[in-house]
Structure 1
């Protein structure tokens, strides 16, 4: 459909409809007919597709606004839309010159926001980006970022989602600033791991030092120190033992006394498919697990053998975990 059709909706109405689609997608159920309706809506114009991608980001970043979105969605439903939720949308959508790539069940997509990013990684993919002389970014799985330049701040990285390790040569005078969530991080002469997921940012200085600015305050991290901030709060600086450093750069994942629900959530970031916990009560089981990234299926074998879980495997990388 011609992109000019977007002009039939004013901007406020467009974004309200996008929020309604996202809130239904997150909270209800989706039929094949409704999936086609959503694809048609996103394909009406670049403005529609962009509004939907932006609304999905806002849902994750602003959980306090979800109640109002749900009330808006009920009004939209009364005007003729049906409830929606995360589910299967097969294929590739072409609309208004933009492509929307759709993933298998329960991993909705590398969204239009992913496709617009300067750099991105898919499930299980890692990538190195050289920002400047002696400054590199190692991107972890399912991450996306933009890069720009500023007269005062130098090279700027906007971490939109995911995890990166900033690597800077010793005695380098280059300044690199990473924006993640509501804060900024500058790294100096070493390695700093920055993880931004679901509105929470975790900064771990592995070597050298890092400067974190958040809420008008500055926090200096030395090697082996970490802090976490969200939209309105920041933790104190904590010391992290070497065995608790992020381990993905060493090609493995390590979990120490972590709830099974968190373990599966992390595995799903790397998994080409989806791991589903059938019985939510099992999510509180504390798990100790170390697995190589090049042999992730081994994690299911360990969970099955040591924690009394039954694992049913399906095509497309889908696995259902339940009580044995």
Structure 2
């Protein structure tokens, strides 16, 4: 029997949508996770709704989390209709008020967007290949041969003479027949040239020419640094993270980019070294492999709150 939506059910659905959107944004704090734990434990209906919410996210990965959650208080037939419509167009969804606070509006409205842990590739109208890494947002204006990297990391392979300009906030890179990776963080952007040549025009400073192997990091204060990129750095395009004798702290900082929620570790572990190639589609397995090969233990308060601590010596 179809159940009737009530104001209380709709409010619970909005709350679940807001929590799920926050977790998928990768910006949840430890305090946020504590509040989520308290909300789930406060009422059996909350936990039941949360389990259904996670199930919907797995079934409808192409649907924005808040839109999927908006169907939780709907009868089954109406739920299917709402989700199908959601695949074709973006609508105003419950939980949007929290999204606007936790995610910049430009990220939510971007033409292309990936969630935390998601990667995707898109063939542009001119034949160029655009790949989006985890938690990435891109705007497209192919009529002007221009992209805007709003957040995250992309790889762009351009095979035609017509250059494509990529705006990354701190400047603009113009690439013709070349392959590049761009990573935009909160206070800097890193441009790496995998093949060919590109031109970079910083917002502050003179135009620069980069060749194959060059890596330029620009900072919000106008400074910059040139170097050579790590040849394993673009391996994320193939869904792997490859490192050789890398300090554990740096390695975990990268792994955390692909996990919703909080990943913490004791500072005393940071000097341990990691070598290997790890599959990015299963970060739980990455942590399990670390625990099997290094003197550490993985402590999980929940799926979204994991801490690595030194392993206690056997008595």
Does TM-score exceed 0.5, indicating one fold? yes
Residue of structure 1 in register with 2:209 after alignment: 220
Calculate the TM-score normalised by the size of structure 1: 0.61
- Cα distance in 1 between the residues matched to 2:176 and 2:94: 39
Residue of structure 2 in register with 1:175 after alignment: 163
Alpha-carbon distance change, 239 to 113 in structure 1, aligned in 2, over 3 angstroms: closer
Q: Are 1:256 and 2:244 matched, yes or no?
A: yes
Cα displacement string for residues 202-240 of structure 1 (whole angstroms, at most 9, x for unaligned residues): 11111122211112312222222211111111112x233
Residue of structure 1 in register with 2:297 after alignment: 310
Cα displacement string for residues 281-324 of structure 1 (whole angstroms, at most 9, x for unaligned residues): 33343433420123333321232123211112344343221111
Q: CA deviation at 1:241?
A: 5.2
Q: How many residues align?
A: 230
Residue of structure 2 in register with 1:155 after alignment: 145
Q: CA deviation at 1:30?
A: 9.3
Residue of structure 2 in register with 1:280 after alignment: 267
Is 2:216–2:224's contact at 8 Å kept on the other side of the alignment? yes
- Cα distance in 2 between the residues matched to 1:146 and 1:213: 19
Is 1:181–1:230's contact at 8 Å kept on the other side of the alignment? no
- Cα distance in 2 between the residues matched to 1:132 and 1:211: 22
Is 1:213–1:219's contact at 8 Å kept on the other side of the alignment? yes
Cα displacement string for residues 148-177 of structure 1 (whole angstroms, at most 9, x for unaligned residues): 367xxx3221111100001111xx122211
Is 2:245–2:275's contact at 8 Å kept on the other side of the alignment? yes
Task: Name which structure has the greater RCO, CA cutoff 8 Å, separation 6+.
Answer: 2
Is 1:162–1:196's contact at 8 Å kept on the other side of the alignment? yes
Is 1:193–1:205's contact at 8 Å kept on the other side of the alignment? yes
Q: How does 1:163-202 map to 2 (within 5 A)?
A: 163-169=153-159, 172-202=160-190
Secondary structure of the residue aligned to 1:178 is strand
Q: Are 1:234 and 2:212 matched, yes or no?
A: no
- Cα distance in 2 between the residues matched to 1:241 and 1:264: 17
Secondary structure of the residue aligned to 2:124 is strand
Q: Are 1:207 and 2:225 matched, yes or no?
A: no
Q: How does 1:55-70 map to 2 (within 5 A)?
A: none
Residue of structure 2 in register with 1:121 after alignment: 114
- Cα distance in 2 between the residues matched to 1:205 and 1:188: 12
Secondary structure of the residue aligned to 2:270 is helix
Is 1:309–1:321's contact at 8 Å kept on the other side of the alignment? yes
Alpha-carbon distance change, 185 to 309 in structure 1, aligned in 2, over 3 angstroms: same
Alpha-carbon distance change, 273 to 26 in structure 1, aligned in 2, over 3 angstroms: closer
Residue of structure 2 in register with 1:144 after alignment: 137
- Cα distance in 1 between the residues matched to 2:195 and 2:33: 47
Cα displacement string for residues 254-297 of structure 1 (whole angstroms, at most 9, x for unaligned residues): 233433333222112212443222x2333343433420123333
Is 1:100–1:111's contact at 8 Å kept on the other side of the alignment? no
Secondary structure of the residue aligned to 1:205 is strand
Secondary structure of the residue aligned to 2:152 is strand
Q: Are 1:293 and 2:286 matched, yes or no?
A: no
- Cα distance in 2 between the residues matched to 1:101 and 1:264: 31
- Cα distance in 2 between the residues matched to 1:292 and 1:31: 29
Q: Mind listing any 5+ residue stretches in structure 2 that lack a counterpart?
A: 1-27, 40-68, 71-91
Cα RMSD of the aligned pairs, angstroms, is: 3.3
Q: Mind listing any 5+ residue stretches in structure 1 that lack a counterpart?
A: 1-24, 37-90
Q: CA deviation at 1:192?
A: 0.6
Q: How does 1:262-273 map to 2 (within 5 A)?
A: 262-273=250-261
Alpha-carbon distance change, 162 to 309 in structure 1, aligned in 2, over 3 angstroms: same
Greater strand proportion: 1
